[in-house]
Amino acid sequence: MTDNHLAFIFPGQGSQQVGMGAELAQTYPAADAVFQEADAVLGQELRQLCFEGPEADLKQTENTQLAILTCSVAALQVLKECGVVPSAVAGHSLGEYSALVAAGVIDFEDALHLVHARASFMAEAGSTQQGTMAAILGMETGRLQALCDTAEGVVNIANYNCPGQLVISGEIEAVNHVLDLAKAEIGARRCRPLPVSGAFHSPLMAPAQQKFAVPLESVTMQSPQVEVAMNVTGEVATDVDDIRHLLLQQITRPVQWEKTLQTLQKTGITHFVEVGPGKVLSGLVKRTLPESSAMNVEDIETLSLVTDEYGSDK
């Protein structure tokens, strides 16, 4: 039975770790089947990469995005079996594809193909147009935007993660310029470059966006079975054409995650479960909506805690 106050949220790139998904796949046939399908569709040993690494290969954008998608959908399938059903979903950047699988908008095989293309195009754009990203903690949004406006070259706010946590993206020199200015105002320990291979969610990803339009247009989409809040607007989208357009725009536009969580709260969501590796999004919920509950599912222990709270026998 659907829990009208529960949302599933799905992590994006950066949450990967060697060993992710292994416990669930070894224990639940439903999770194992997801890894089998991914390996068959992609023609590669994604399961082995997730479970055993090496870490250097797992960190490559082309592998990371597919690995996180697969681990998230594996955890999703186990939650379904356990009778944990949300009334809304959202995903951070890459996680939006897991969310759309959860909402019945796209099937897992199509999500694999889309994410494979997206990751390849983004990696290619990152190698041809050198860029980077950096996290800025403790600075007011308007002030950081003003610093970005002073830089020569491309730099913009890429992630509005939660109050006091922003990420900038753009050309290396421009990002470093804003970092230096921010450090002078709020202290060096609260500004840090991110280990990424490109300037994601910035205009430097425009070549990837242009190429991605072709495979995105070819995929069949269904109307969402539950509410889906989208990154670009931070609002719920119900129209398939709108969702397709927003997925394309997401490659170069900022992730409005703080607004996304606030939108879900307005629809009546009070409990969040992060589905997939890591606890990054659970932390963002607690900092954005401190009165809300946030849990995560990535292994047997965390699954047990969530099913005890939200399982079908509750």
One-character DSSP codes across 129-145: S-EEEEEEES--HHHHH
Is 201 part of the annotated catalytic residue set? yes
Q: Is 157 strand, coil or helix?
A: strand
Q: Is 3 strand, coil or helix?
A: strand
Q: How far apart are CA 135 and CA 188, in angstroms?
A: 11
Catalytic residue among 87, 93, 98, 282: 93
Cβ proximity of 179 and 137 under 8 Å: no
Q: How far is CA 233 from CA 9, 22, 142, 229, 262, in A?
A: 16, 34, 18, 8, 12
Catalytic residue among 15, 116, 201, 282: 201
Torsion of CA 84, 287, 269, 295, to 10 degrees: 10
Q: How far apart are CA 277 and CA 17, in angstroms?
A: 7
Phi and psi at residue 155, in whole multiples of 5°? -160, 135
Active site residues: 93, 201
